[in-house]
Chains A and B, each alone.
Chain A
Amino acid sequence: MCLGIPMQVKSIDQFVAQCEAKGVSREVNLFMLQGESVEVGDFVMVHVGYAIEKMTEQDARSSWELYDEMLATLSAGETDA
């Protein structure tokens, strides 16, 4: 439940943004970033559906690369007895 996912803001309706990460789209709540100006195109770190902080595109992309590697390892390795 604690994994943070960087996502890009695609549209904003009050405190709800449509965000995207690697082609996957979902609603993200912006209520925790009221003190910040969040605009379409910005990147945010998302925890349990809530944006907790803004981040740069470069940082978001390097996180996505890391998750790609993790997912590849998981799909190859997670077997249990």
Chain B
Amino acid sequence: MGISAKQWLTLIHEMPISQPIKIMNVCGGHERSITMSGIRGALPKNIELIPGPGCPVCICPEEDIYQAIQLSLHEDIILVAYGDMLRVPVNVKKSEARTLEQAKAAGARIKPIASPMDVIQIAEQNPDDTVVFFAAGFETTTAPTAAMIAQGVPDNLKILLSGRLTWPAIHVLLSSDSPGFNALVAPGHVATIMGPQEWAFVVEDFNLPAAVAGFSPESLLAATYSVIRQFESGKPFLDNCYPEVVKPTGNVGAQKMLSEVMTVVDATWRGVGTIPKSGFALSEPYRYLDVNEHFPGYHDDARKRAGEMPPGCDCAKVVMGEIYPNECRLYGKACVPRHPIGPCMVSDEGACRIWWAHTKR
């Protein structure tokens, strides 16, 4: 048997901790486990766990969601998207559709999906219609999209790709004047696909502790213990506290599919701006699937300016770990899961939604 969560906590409490340590996580699944299991409150007072840019729905560019809404309203298509994306609001006049859900209510044909396999099924069931897959997500959802494409898709399927890589956002934070954290717990399933080495820059370029974690309290506490110990010893290294799933190389087959089907490009993050080499685009041989090749004129670069969070919403600060969810002025007042203002309250992986659902009120 491995070490239990209680034993990890004891080990952490027994460690001398010379100064406050702020540990960022980059995964909605991590934040959910941390919040639900009450780990945050069980740690020594000088250990802070900060939810970082771990919610793909939250940082999905406003202009991409706007494009999906407009396509669904003005073209004779079926638009499919992960369910979380349907309620994310864009910044438009109240008379216009603010979400894909509202576009659907106005008559657009929009279907929520849970897997790229659902996308193929819908395209095959509707051979006379063009089906557009609004494919937002981090590596864990973008790699299956790449696999779907590599396996072959029906002719009537087009893609609005909005995939993002997680590590560049951490690189941006660490390169800034005030990163706001001094240790990192890296996302277990991103590392499962891309390999843990993707996170080595935290140690090599910034001399900070890093540990890949799984989703159980035991694995998260093991990673927390590891980064504290690394910090105190002054000898950071990249630890893998989820070896049962994360191989040293990651999933090499999936990485090959990603690099064949997609290229890495500079990309916009909602509320953050452009992050170099943080997005996926279809590579040349697969460009024919790009929705922009078939329905030009819907991608509005000018919206990048408007693509901030809704007025009064602090999701951008929450996403980048600058404030905790309950420090937003709208949290739990104007913004609750049933009437979300910002994307962090919409998605199951949004820190605001997670905190609200688990009694941080």
Contacts and interface: CB of A to CB of B under 8 A. Distances in A.
Given A32-B253, A49-B117, A59-B245, A2 B137 contact: yes
A78 B360 CA distance: 12
B326 to A, nearest CB: 14
A80 B144 contact: no
Contact of A52 (B32, B118, B150, B189): B189
Contact of A70 (B36, B56, B244, B247): B36
Interface in B248-289: 251-254, 257
A63 to B, nearest CB: 7
A50 B144 contact: yes
Nearest to A6: B245
Decide if the interface of chain A is mainly helix, strand, loop or mixed. mixed
B123 interface: no
A47 interface: yes
Interface in B59-98: 82-84
Interface in B176-225: 189, 192-193, 215-217
B324 interface: no
Nearest to B244: A59
B116 A52 contact: no
B251 A1 contact: no
Contacts of B140: 2, 4, 47-48, 52
A35 B337 contact: no
A37 interface: no
B310 interface: no
B138 interface: yes
Looking at A29, A31, A56, A81, the one whose CB has the most chain B CB atoms below 10 A away is A31
B137 to A, nearest CB: 6
A36 B245 CA distance: 14
A32 B192 CA distance: 12
Contacts of B358: 73, 77
A40 interface: no
A75 to B, nearest CB: 11
B356 interface: yes
B349 A52 contact: no
B141 A80 contact: no
A74 interface: yes
B189 A31 contact: no
Contacts of A81: 332, 336, 338
B330 to A, nearest CB: 13
A59 B214 CA distance: 11
A1 B137 contact: yes
Contacts of A49: 114-118, 144
B24 interface: no
Nearest to B85: A1
B19 interface: no
B33 A66 contact: yes
Nearest to A47: B140
A33 B247 CA distance: 13
A77 B356 CA distance: 10
Nearest to B143: A32
Contacts of A1: 56-57, 82-84, 114, 137, 141, 348-349
Interface of A: 1-4, 15, 27, 29, 31-36, 45, 47-50, 52-53, 55-56, 59, 62-63, 66, 69-70, 73-74, 77-78, 80-81
Task: Enumerate the 5 nearest inter-chain pairs by beta-carbon distance, A residue then B residue, closest first.
Answer: A49-B115, A50-B144, A80-B337, A59-B244, A35-B253
